[in-house]
Amino acid sequence: MLDDGNPRNLKEFSTHAITIENFVSIDKVEDHGNSVYGAFHSDEYGDFKAYFKFHFNGEGKINKLEIGQADY
């Protein structure tokens, strides 16, 4: 998992973020649904535009997740 290009532990990140961070709206979806962009809210960091990009291996399982602030 990469958060603004920095490696993060997925379990630690999601355990913390799941209760305080969420998409408020989805503004666009690309790459056959694998890239999601929208308005994001974090109790810790405020409101901003964000992206989630899911990458899959040959077996169809997610092998990388990129998240970060978006500029669009």
- List pLDDT tens digits, range 27-41: 999 999 999 999 999
Question: Residue 58: enclosing H or E segment and its boundaries?
Answer: none
Angle at 20 (CA atoms; ends 15, 22), nearest 5 degrees? 100
pLDDT reported for residue 72: 86
CB 42 within 8 A of CB 51: no
Q: pLDDT averaged over the chain?
A: 96
Contacts of residue 48, Cβ cutoff 8 Å, sequence gap at least 6: 39, 40, 42, 69
**What is the structure's pLDDT at 5?**
96
Residue 28: predicted pLDDT: 98
Question: 44 by DSSP, 3-state: which?
Answer: coil
Structure confidence at residue 46 as a pLDDT band (50, 70, 90): very high
- Percent of the chain past pLDDT 70, that is, above it, reads 100
